[in-house]
Amino acid sequence: MSDFLRLKKSNCKNCYKCIRNCPVKSIRFSAGQANIVSSECILCGQCFVVCPQNAKEIASDIEKVKVMLADGSPVVASIAPSFIANYNDCGIAALEKTLQQLGFAAAEETALGATMVKREYDRILAEEKPDVLISSCCHSVNLLIQKYFPSLLPYLAQVVSPMQAHCKDLKRRYPGAKTVFIGPCVAKKDEAERYSGIVDAVLTFEQLSQWMVEAGVSLTASPDREKESRARLFPTTGGILKTMECAAEDYTYMAVDGVENCIAALKDMEQGMVHHCFIEMSACVGSCVNGPIMEKYHRSPVVDFARVAAYAGPEDFKVKNPPREELDKSMGYLEHSAAMPGEAEITAILRQMGKTRPEHELNCGSCGYNTCREKAVAVYQGKADLSMCLPFLKDKAESFSDNIINNTPNGILVLNEDFEVQQINRAALKLMNLRSPADVLGEQIVRVLDPKDFMDVKQSGRSLRDQRRYLAEYDRYVEETIIYDREYRIIIGIFRDVTEEESAREKKETISRQTVEIADKVVDKQMRVVQEIASLLGETVAETKIALTNLKESIQDE
């Protein structure tokens, strides 16, 4: 399978929306980037539809078609019947005229091939009488059965799709022609490549519209309804059944749309619960009229259905079915084996995600997988990594944060913008003589601290750092840091208890002061003694006074 769905790596933001919406989980994550596992993909296009960053793009055949047009051979377009919805009541004649301006020799409706296919379904039911017959028009459904339900391949109609039937017919009627299918489906690109020689290129409606804009060509709304056009109903849910005779006796005819519903129906078949019925299956909810290109760029399912229904007539196209062998199509098993872990490996991976007991397996689906065990299997297969588990990351982050906050010796308070306490750690509880966080959580900060500094920081937007404060109500000194986080609208207060440092400083100052007082007394006393001696001995006291004064100043400096 070629790379029909491509990833713009720069746009992938690690949101996991694609894997959450992928019905077969055929996406591998590596370094936060999503990569499609081609061997497992059924090309339903849901990852393309849901990507919020437009990180998925569909490979374009525009340049390939331009080369075909330049070669000189006639190039004929087969237009999917959902075109009437995408191009707002522009009939096939007007669309053909526009395509001819781009260089196409002709354009016809794929519904002509659909008429041939539905007749073959009626014939198989009437003549071969299979227990169950599943339509094979939708290539995504075919891939789903070929890859994931190989035991049901005998039920899958071995019949070409309308695209293939029509393009074969075009090549018969236009000798040497190249065929280009234009529709709302990415899976048709794979079908054209897998069954070579029938369809030479595939364009989506979006790509055709892009080409028309670049070429300066525009469409004119001009419906051209005709009664021989019943197969135009094919792109709607139940549209195949509406065109069939449904005359086989004792058969139940039903339509199933959406990959999840198809998977559920196929599982019932595997268990032998479905018998004697014809099932029209479409991977897209609403069928082709709601294909990935339509859903992404033209999301109007009710209006689109109404347009298709109004454009269709009550009778079949007047086309002749080719020989039966030309409608045959061989579809076999497509292997996509991946190593499966044992119970020990799954348990070990779950343990790494912090899930050591069954009750830890929340099965929340935030990673994109339905269960934690399914996610563990994907981790083992290299398709997922542990960081995709959001509860695991949340618990890990909270545990890390709580360990830091509760084990730091600094008191920490977190307030909201209304100055209500949102979080308090153990050191702050001890600092403020509180028994538990419940005593203060949700309360105004004024209950435990003077709010002035918090209010000043919020008003000014400037942080307060390492300001020494005396908390009189707690008889403690702290170094206070207050930060206002505008993005998260919280105010964080950090308090370092410096009471012992302050007590030591005060004690040192007291000792120094006492020493100075003692020195003063000694100086005074010595001065008196020196004066008495000086008077007796007639010596000067200047040098003694200077020495004692220096001693005093030295003590004061300490």
Output the 3-class SS for 140-193.
HHHHHHHHHCHHHHHHECCECCHHHHHHHHHHHHCCCCEEEEEECCCHHHHHHH
How far is residue 393's CA from residue 412's CA, in Å, rounded to a whole number?
23
**Please, which residues bridge with residue 36 across strands?**
27
Structure tokens at 456: 């000043």
**Please, which residues bridge with residue 493 across strands?**
413, 482
What are the residues whose beta carbons fall under 8 Å from the beta carbon of 307, sequence distance 6 or more? Answer: 84, 85, 88, 89
CA-wise closest residue to 305 among 257, 251, 256, 235? 235
Query: What is the model's pLDDT at position 178?
Result: 97
Is residue 182 exposed (0-12), middle (13-18) or buried (19+ Cβ within 10 Å)? buried
| 3-class DSSP string for 69-100 | HHCCCCEEEEECCCHHHHCCCCCHHHHHHHHH
What are the residues whose beta carbons fall under 8 Å from the beta carbon of 163, sequence distance 6 or more? Answer: 78, 80, 110, 113, 181, 183, 188, 191, 192, 199
Beta 201-204 vs 252-257: how paired, if at all? unpaired
Class of domain 1-47: alpha beta
Q: At 114, is the secondary structure helix, strand, or coil? A: helix
Query: What is the model's pLDDT at position 509?
Result: 76
Query: What is the model's pLDDT at position 428?
Result: 92
Query: What is the model's pLDDT at position 326?
Result: 94
Query: What is the model's pLDDT at position 391?
Result: 72
Structure tokens at 207: 């790509």
Q: At 420, is the secondary structure helix, strand, or coil? A: strand
Query: What is the model's pLDDT at position 361?
Result: 81
How far is residue 236's CA from residue 307's CA, in Å, rounded to a whole number?
11
Distances 66 to 3, 69, 72, 77, 322 between C-alpha atoms, Å: 21, 5, 11, 13, 30
What are the residues whose beta carbons fall under 8 Å from the beta carbon of 322, sequence distance 6 or more? Answer: 116, 165, 168, 169, 172
Q: What one-character DSSP code corresponds to residue 258?
A: S
The answer to whether 331 and 372 are in contact (CB under 8 A) is no
The answer to whether 163 and 137 are in contact (CB under 8 A) is no
The answer to whether 314 and 227 are in contact (CB under 8 A) is yes
User: 368 φ, ψ to 5°?
Assistant: 105, -15
Beta strands in 11-64 (DSSP E): 27-30, 33-36, 56-58
The answer to whether 479 and 466 are in contact (CB under 8 A) is yes
The answer to whether 132 and 125 are in contact (CB under 8 A) is no
CA 403 to chain centre: 31
Q: At 7, is the secondary structure helix, strand, or coil? A: strand
Class of domain 338-407: mainly alpha
How far is residue 338's CA from residue 374's CA, in Å, rounded to a whole number?
13
User: 502 φ, ψ to 5°?
Assistant: -65, -40
414-497: CATH, from 1.10.3720.10, 3.30.450.20, 3.40.50.2300, 1.10.1740.10: 3.30.450.20
Which helix (H) or strand (E) segment holds residue 256: the answer is strand 252-257
Query: What is the model's pLDDT at position 16?
Result: 84
Per-residue pLDDT 10s for the chain (558 aa) are 557 887 777 677 778 888 889 999 998 887 677 888 999 999 999 998 988 888 888 999 999 999 999 998 999 999 999 999 998 879 999 999 999 999 999 999 999 999 999 999 999 999 999 999 999 999 999 999 999 999 999 999 999 999 999 999 999 999 999 999 999 999 999 999 999 999 999 999 999 999 999 999 988 877 788 899 999 999 999 999 999 999 998 999 999 999 999 999 999 999 999 999 999 999 999 999 998 887 667 778 899 999 999 999 999 999 999 999 999 999 999 988 778 888 899 888 888 888 888 887 888 877 778 888 888 888 888 888 777 777 776 666 666 667 777 788 999 999 999 999 998 999 999 999 999 999 999 999 999 999 999 999 999 999 999 999 999 899 999 999 999 998 888 999 999 999 888 888 878 777 777 777 776 777 777 777 767 776 665 555 566 667 667 766 665 665
Q: Which residue has the tokens 């094979």?
A: 136
The structural domains of the chain, with segments of one domain joined by +, span 1-47, 60-327, 338-407, 414-497, 501-557
Beta strands in 258-395 (DSSP E): 277-282
The answer to whether 159 and 179 are in contact (CB under 8 A) is no
Which helix (H) or strand (E) segment holds residue 405: the answer is helix 390-407
Q: At 366, is the secondary structure helix, strand, or coil? A: coil
* Radius of gyration of the CA atoms of the chain, in A: 41
Q: At 464, is the secondary structure helix, strand, or coil? A: strand
- Predicted TM-score (pTM) of the model is 0.73
The upper half-sphere exposure of residue 372, i.e. CA atoms within 13 Å in the direction of its Cβ, equals 25
Structure tokens at 420: 């209500």
- Determine the residue type at 270: E
Which helix (H) or strand (E) segment holds residue 512: the answer is helix 499-537
How far is residue 122's CA from residue 72's CA, in Å, rounded to a whole number?
40
CB count in 10 Å sphere of residue 507: 10
Sheet arrangement for strand 75-79: 106-109, 75-79, 178-183, 201-204
Query: What is the model's pLDDT at position 500?
Result: 87
Structure tokens at 479: 């170094």
The answer to whether 184 and 84 are in contact (CB under 8 A) is no
Beta strands in 393-525 (DSSP E): 411-416, 421-424, 464-471, 476-485, 490-497
